[in-house]
Amino acid sequence: MKSEKVKLGLIGLGTVGTGVVKVLKDYDNIEIKKIAVKNINKKRDIENLAPSILTTDPFEIVNDPEIDIVVEVIGGTDPAFELLKTAINNKKHIVTANKELLAKKGQELFNLANEKNVTILYEAAIAGGIPIIMPIKTTLAGNKIHKIEAILNGTTNYILTKMEKDNVSYEEVLKEAQKLGYAETDPTGDVEGFDSAYKIATLATIALNQRVDINKIYKEGITKISANDMQFAKELGYKIKLIALAKLTDDNKADVRVHPMLVPQKDCLASINGVTNSVVLEGFPVGRVMFAGPGAGMFPTASSVLGDILAIVSGIGSDNLLPFMKCNHTKNAQQISIEQTTNRYYISITANNNPGVIGTIGKICGNHNINLASVLQKGIDKENTARIIIITEESIEENINNAIDELKNNSSIVKINNLIRVME
């Protein structure tokens, strides 16, 4: 460790950046030398912020020879990618909370960091304040992790929790969440699963020890979940959650995806409510471990950024990078497509109220090697149609798609309302 102060450059002074400045004020051995902002004149909720350290040019930071660590909290790939590339080329260590950048450009950045013998730490990018990346790299370092089940997006978990609790529609809850600031005006990034997909791409890369390609991650959001689905799931003993999933198949391929799932009520992920995030890892020798906590917010995110900064500060000055500072996944994952995956399925069907319609559904499923685990018939409506909910045994998704096609073409079937995968 150097005896003089470690010098830090901060890119971004929004919510997370402000949190980082606030928590760093207690550290005499760390100096924030420069902060890049959009608007230098904006009033900010930070005591004793010297205007002289603000700049509107982030390249001043990444090119400053005195700066040891660059902390990037602006998000997005542009200009973050260019900035971090420059910083790494200038042999600076990186701490970032930028999940989109890591998912899209992680491989290039990590390769460059290896070449330049610097580190990129990113605890804050995945699951906010929850310690998850460092435990995987340290305590769990001897494990072969074969499964991750996670709730990585607070906005969608808030919406789903509220839909279930108050028995209201997605649209209603979204409006309320937007008013409360839990959802953005354009909520696409959250509700369509982009945010979760970015995070699971990076988390799966480190946990499965294979480079996962964000472009090959199947992604489905929560906008099609109805209040009815919520209630039927509840009756059947489940909650609906947006799950980021990664597992190794028996032949060591990677099955990585984001979509809603029916989670058994007794599973610990079912009790993760509101904006909380959670990550469940399964591996050998550890078995199944769970982490939960705040997935976002000024201080939880700053906690993780601070942990990474302190880790780098502790390693600065030694000749070699510490093992947890290395980023060396040379193997690209062989990712399977969603059609190749195996799941249990919840299928909500509107059917004509003919005698034998459940038999018809059962027969069609059987034609495609799909066994039914349970069938729930809900009341007849005024059009004389019935809602039939089936839960299947484990089936190959391709077979499910074929069965759905055949069901759609059957005269007894009015509509397939929804298809949601079910957690084992």
Rounded to the nearest 5°, which phi and psi values hold at 237?
95, 25
Identify the residue among 168, 236, 310, 373 touching a copy of itself (CB under 8 A).
Answer: 310
The residue annotated as part of the active site, out of 137, 199, 239, 241, is: 199
Check if the beta carbon of residue 183 is closer than 8 Å to that of residue 159.
yes
* SS3 assignment, position 289: strand
Give the contact letters, 86-125, x = binds to a copy of itself (CB under 8 A), - = no: -------------------------------------x--
Write the CB contacts of 168 (distance below 8 Å, at least 6 apart in sequence).
Answer: 162, 227
Complete DSSP assignment for 155-167: HHHHHHHHHHHHT
Complete DSSP assignment for 363-380: HHHHHTT--EEEEEEEEE
Give the contact letters, 333-372, x = binds to a copy of itself (CB under 8 A), - = no: ----------------------------------------
18 residue type, one letter? T
Least CB distance to a copy of itself at residue 212 (A): 22
Residue 266 catalytic? no
Name the token pair of 194.
């982009």
Q: Which is nearer to a copy of itself, 1 or 40 (CB)?
A: 1
Q: Tokens 């009015």, residue?
A: 414
Q: Is the peptide bond before 79 cis (omega within 30 degrees of 0)?
A: yes
347, β-bridge pairs: 390, 419
d(Cα 405, Cα 399) in Å, to the nearest integer? 10
Least CB distance to a copy of itself at residue 174 (A): 24
Identify the residue among 46, 168, 227, 290 touching a copy of itself (CB under 8 A).
Answer: 290
Name the token pair of 31.
């100096």
For 11, 338, 399, 422, 423, the CA distances from 342, given in Å and listed in that order, are 43, 9, 10, 10, 11
Least CB distance to a copy of itself at residue 297 (A): 7
Q: Which stretch binds a copy of itself (CB under 8 A): 16-24, 53-61, 245-253, 359-367?
A: 16-24
What value, to the nearest 5°, has the Cα angle with vertex 409 and ends 408 and 415? 30
Q: Which is nearer to a copy of itself, 83 or 126 (CB)?
A: 126
Give the contact letters, 233-272, x = binds to a copy of itself (CB under 8 A), - = no: ---------------------------------x-x--xx
Identify the residue among 244, 248, 306, 388 touching a copy of itself (CB under 8 A).
Answer: 306
Looking only at residues 23 through 42 of this chain, which bind a copy of itself when binding is defined by CB under 8 A? 23, 27
Q: Annotated catalytic sites, by residue?
A: 199
Binding site for a copy of itself (CB under 8 A): 1, 19, 22-23, 27, 123, 129-131, 133-135, 138-143, 266, 268, 271-273, 284-294, 297-300, 302-304, 306-311, 314-315, 318, 320, 322-324
